Amino acid sequence: EEGGTVGMVGGDSEYGYHNTRTRAAHAQNDAIIHKTFEEYTRLREGIREAELAEQRRDKLGGSLTSTSSGAYGSGSSPLSLRDREYVSSSPPEARRVQTRTSSQGLSGLRSRSTYTTSDLKTTSSAYGNFPKTREVYSSLTSAARRSSSDRTKGTATSSASSQKELDKKACVGLSNLGNTCFMNSILQCLFGVKELGEFFSDDVETGQIVRNRENKVAKAFQELVRKVLGSDIGSVVSPSGFHEKVKMKDRKWGGMRQHDSQEFLQFLLNVLREQCNRIAEKKPKYKELDGKGSQEDQAHEALKYYKSWHDSVIDDIFGGLLESSITCDNCNHISYCFDPFLDLSVPVPGSGMNSSSVNLHDCLSKFTEKEKLEDIEGYKCEKCKKQSTACKKLTVYKMPRVVILHLKRFSGGGFSRFSRFSKNSARVSFQMELDFGRYCYSSSEPSRYRLFAISHHSGSLTGGHYYAEVENAYDGCWYNFNDSMVTNCRQPDTSSSTAYVLFYRRI
């Protein structure tokens, strides 16, 4: 089973450390688990090499059969690729994994105070009992945690409940299907939205989705969410079924081309909003809003009209309302326009690879600053009926529960086919806790948010890669998701040249 390394969860928040002695006990066990996992990973890589070597031998006409007896039983029936053994001339990279437990068995392991990698042994012969190796590793991990809990009676209850919850909502890697890192990065960020996971795990909430055969992407996303939330830590889930339904919806996401993660995010949110829409009856006819009444009346009318078209879990979580105001320089009349949004694309001041560091507030200020509209652009005031210069300004009228900020790092460039676009790699400093108050219409609107996920883009336009850093919604720890590789990490660096899409949750 493909997979990457994963950092074992630890820290004061999980175990509830009360003193130095307790902390040392947990640290000892975590170190042992890490050491065991490293051995487990090394053995797994050896098996992968053997599988590749076996495939090469198949192409060269080599004969592969099962042995007459051994770890997998007797007989000459063909075995699966993973469980086959070489009869002769085994390649040097092939390794056989043999497992042994203590004389007391796996139950005996649980009572031991220490666990070493000697519980997993290797020889240089052909490979074999890989599933048993994985079973022993899993038992060692569970045993170490149980032993740690037994030594710290004062925290046994909180540790057990925390571990139980973690076991149900583990962090897993996603297989790269061939340049699908853009998709994996966004999916991991969305898995960090607890409300989204709860919705797609609820059979009652998703009943309408399941009954409608046309909602193929939403169904596939539901299956993927449930698989991810139900998988053990360190495992890898393939999003191939979900990807197939995405390609059926829009062929642009197929093939081996690299895509933009923010474009995929917009596509996915819009499709899920459409397929999870609670408005089952016929939608109202399109109409132009009259733009009359006070600012609040116009905003209320726009929101009501939007809700008559879209009412879904996506709107509940990510839906906000953006206000665009235009002030006529001739008569000072202000006209308003309100647009719903699921994410905000904000500019990154400066350009080029060597741009100096900017702050996220600089990006938001640039997004909401007044823009001069010259008369050559054709603005005509609805009140004085004259064509004149005007000032345009954007303001967030209604903040969503989760704010998605897209840093506009990519822009159009020269006329050459290969320099059509460029990337702004300026370091952007951002805050773990961000106050959006100065960019909102109302001061009474809740405006404090906390960062919980980042989609990163490293490299250039010709050779880039996407990965994600996400705060797990269930254990509160940060993880780095790099396709199938998952590692436990500290809070992200708050000054980054690779941060591309930021996810903030209302506090």
pLDDT interval class at 185 (50, 70, 90): very high
Range of lowest pLDDT (4-18, 46-60, 320-334): 4-18
Give the mean model confidence (pLDDT) for residues 119-135.
40
**Cα–Cα nearest to 428, from 346, 369, 494, 370:** 494
Give the mean model confidence (pLDDT) for residues 164-189.
83
The residues pairing with 341 across neighbouring beta strands, listed in sequence order, are 320
| CA–CA dist 253, 468 (Å, integer) | 20
Res 468 pLDDT > 60: yes
**Cα–Cα nearest to 430, from 488, 500, 377:** 500
**Cα–Cα nearest to 186, from 346, 335, 406:** 406
pLDDT, tens only, 264-276: 999 999 999 999 9
Catalytic site includes residue 363: no
Percent of the chain with pLDDT over 70: 63
Question: Which member of 171, 181, 189, 276 is catalytic?
Answer: 181
Q: What is the pLDDT of residue 458?
A: 95
The answer, as to whether pTM is greater than 0.75, is: no
Which residue is listed with tokens 């074999």? 128
Range of lowest pLDDT (44-58, 154-168, 306-320): 154-168
Q: What is the pLDDT of residue 407?
A: 97
Pull the structure tokens for residue 444.
């009474």
| CA–CA dist 139, 116 (Å, integer) | 12
Res 154 pLDDT > 50: no
In degrees and rounded to multiples of 5, residue 374 shows phi and psi of: -80, 155
Q: Please indicate whether residue 96 or residue 330 has the higher confidence score (pLDDT).
A: 330
In degrees and rounded to multiples of 5, residue 96 shows phi and psi of: -105, 130
pLDDT, tens only, 231-247: 888 899 999 999 999 99
Range of lowest pLDDT (142-151, 263-272, 397-406, 498-507): 142-151
Look up residue 205 and give its amino acid: E
Pull the structure tokens for residue 242.
């979900």
Q: What is the pLDDT of residue 388?
A: 85
**Residues near 58 by Cβ (< 8 Å), separated by ≥ 6?**
64
pLDDT, tens only, 66-102: 333 333 333 333 333 333 333 333 333 333 333 333 3
Q: By the 8 A CB rule, do 51 and 84 touch?
A: no
Give the mean model confidence (pLDDT) for residues 117-133.
39
Give the mean model confidence (pLDDT) for residues 331-343.
94
Q: By the 8 A CB rule, do 220 and 183 touch?
A: no
pLDDT, tens only, 378-406: 688 889 998 888 999 999 999 999 999 99
Catalytic site includes residue 34: no
pLDDT, tens only, 38-64: 665 566 666 666 666 666 666 565 433
Res 125 pLDDT > 50: no
**Cα–Cα nearest to 123, from 81, 68, 76, 85:** 85
Res 187 pLDDT > 70: yes
pLDDT interval class at 34 (50, 70, 90): low
Res 10 pLDDT > 50: no
Range of lowest pLDDT (84-98, 356-370, 431-445): 84-98
Q: What is the pLDDT of residue 50?
A: 66
